[in-house]
Amino acid sequence: MKAVVVNCTLKASPEPSNTEQLARVVTSALEERGVTVTWFRLADLAIDHGVETSLSDQDQWPTVHDAIVAADILVIATPTWVGRPASYAQQALERLDAMISETRDDGQPLALGKVAGVVVTGNEDGAHHVISEISGGLVDIGFTIPGQAWTYWNRGPGPGPQYRETEEGHDWSRETGRTMADRLVEVSRALATAGV
């Protein structure tokens, strides 16, 4: 079983990513369950704006696209900015939009049979909305969202520390992250067995 993580932090490497750190809880749990994980950090890549799979010679989205097509599980990991998904997350949805009209050999959309989940960090409130926005977009495109296939972390009210700056609340986010990995694996396996 293969998973792809798309990290939508606004910060390029080598700056540390809070979002990556929480997503690693999920990917460690996935790896313990035998899943191979491939990471993409959009801020490190040249990603064109648009709604097609390939847009220019420099555009590196096709590599991300092909990895998602080859995978069973997609994890979108994003920070929260102004209470909403990071701009890279919306850019990923826009590029994934092209998959609605890409079909498998059986004529079904490419995303059918794939499952997806969401990881959210923030230094302020917004995670439930971010999860709904991204899950709603992915369902539109054809991904299946298993129940409880999300985890999040923030502190409130008002601006506060970042994930890496405190240990508060990490236990809850980690436990929820491990549950997320369970749900992704069990629903992915069920769909594969049933030939969905």
Which residues contact its own copies (rule: CB under 8 A)? Answer: 10-11, 43, 49-51, 81-88, 90-91, 93-94, 96-97, 109, 111-112, 114, 124-129, 131-133, 135-150, 152-158, 169, 172-173, 176, 183, 186-187, 189-191, 193-194, 196
Residue 69 or 112: the one with the smaller Cβ distance to its own copies is 112
Dist CA 50 CA 92 (whole Å): 10
CB of 106 to its own copies, least distance (A): 12
Q: How far apart are the first and last CA of the chain?
A: 15
Q: Name residue 14's amino acid.
A: P
Identity of the residue, 5 or 98, whose beta carbon is nearer to its own copies in the bound complex: 98
Closest approach of Cβ 121 to its own copies, in Å? 9
Query: Which CB, 63 or 166, lies closer to its own copies?
Result: 166
Residue 75's Cβ-count burial label (10 Å; 0-12, 13-18, 19+) is buried
**Nearer Cβ to its own copies, position 68 or 187?**
187
Of the two residues 19 and 176, which places its CB atom closer to its own copies in the complex?
A: 176
| Contact partners, residue 136, CB within 8 Å, separation at least 6 | none
Q: Nearest CA to 77 among 33, 116, 35?
A: 116
Tell me how far, at minimum, the Cβ of 180 lies from its own copies, in Å: 11
- Name the DSSP class of 42: G
Question: In whole angstroms, how close is the CB of 54 to its own copies at the nearest point?
Answer: 15
The least distance separating its own copies from the CB of residue 117, rounded to whole angstroms, comes to 9
Smallest distance, its own copies to C-beta of residue 133, A: 6
Return phi, psi of residue 3, to 5°: -125, 150
Output DSSP code: residue 119: E
Q: Which is nearer to its own copies, 31 or 182 (CB)?
A: 182
| Residue 16, CB-side half-sphere exposure with 13 Å CA sphere | 8
Q: Name 36's bridge partners.
A: 2
